[in-house]
Every structure is written in C-alpha cells, then in structure tokens.
Amino acid sequence: MHRITQLTPGYLNKMIQEGTDAVRHAIRLCGDPTRQGGYFCIADGETGFPLVITAIGTVAEEKAEKYLALCQEKARRLARNQTHLSSWESRDPEENEWAGAVRGNRLIGSFSALPELWDEAAMLRWAFRTSELTEGQAMRIASISGNTNFYLLQQSARR
C-alpha cells in the first residue's frame, strides 16, 4: 500500500503560491489572449493522487471541466510511468493525453489550459522555485521535450 504525501499548511501554501506565480508568468509570455487561466494540480509523486487542485486566473466556463480533468489525468499518467520525468514522455494526442505535468522530488505538478509546452514550462518553473527540482534537473526535463518556453520563463524572471 502506498502512503500519500502529507504536507503542512505552510508548505502547501508556498507550493500553491509558487504555482500561481509560475502560471501567471507563463500566461503573460505565451501571448494567447484567449487563454487567461486553467487548473493547477499538486499530486503525490508516487500515486498521482491529487493533494490540491486550484483554478488560476480566469477559466472560460466552457473549458473548465476539460482543464480540470486534464490536469488530473496528466498527474495520474505521470505517476503510473515511474521512470518518466514529464508527461511529455507519454503524451498521445490521439488519446487526448498531453504534456503539462512534471515529476519533482516528492510531488507532481500539473497544469492544463495553455498550449502544452507552456503548461510544462510553468510546472518546471514551479518545481524549480519550490526546490522540487534543481535548475539543472528542470533544464534536463525541458530538453526531453525541446521546451524552450522554460528558458524564456527563467530569463524573463531574472530581469
């Protein structure tokens, strides 16, 4: 039987705040005015069980159910594939399975609403900012998917 990761309220608040900041930054940089928000999921790294799911930004009502389901699906799929670092590695557009979840040290971060490489870039930024990943580990994951958006997020945050 797997144990679900338990987080203290203070740690959880930090995780949510960093996710919110990373997603809002990605929304600004992605340049698509029709995408102004989505769903962020923090899941147990071993089971993929959602620990927190929250809306970030403005989610169009007609897209809310889809984005909510996708953020959870990405996390569960990544948990099932224990050797994968990102949901990019198991993405299957024909099955509506996309990138946007990243495995950290203990947790999986998943976001759905932006183009999939922006979803992934935001989660790489979240994982780095919360010390779930080092910057080198995050860059390695970005290289697997050829995700240059993560580099853009990092560079713009340094300015």
Domains in the chain, start-ordered, CATH in brackets?
9-158 (3.30.450.150)
Band the pLDDT of 7: cuts 50, 70, 90.
Answer: confident
R_g over Cα of the chain: 14
For the chain, helix (H) and strand (E) counts, in that order, are 5, 4
Residues in the chain: 159
Q: What are phi and psi of 36, to 5 degrees?
A: -120, 10
Q: Distance between CA atoms of 146 and 86, rounded to whole angstroms?
A: 12
The region of weakest confidence among 6-20, 87-101, 133-147 is 6-20
Residue 48 has pLDDT above 80, yes or no: yes
Band the pLDDT of 159: cuts 50, 70, 90.
Answer: low
Name the residue among 6, 40, 61 with its Cα closest to residue 127.
Answer: 40
The region of weakest confidence among 8-17, 34-43, 71-80 is 8-17
Q: Beta-strand (E) ranges in the chain?
A: 37-44, 50-57, 101-103, 107-112
pLDDT of residue 43: 96
Q: Using one digit for the tens of pLDDT, what is the confidence trace for 50-98?
A: 999 999 999 999 999 999 999 999 999 999 999 999 999 999 999 999 9
pLDDT of residue 4: 64
pLDDT of residue 3: 63
Alpha-carbon distances of 91 from 7, 36, 67, 74, 108, rounded to whole Å: 29, 23, 16, 9, 16
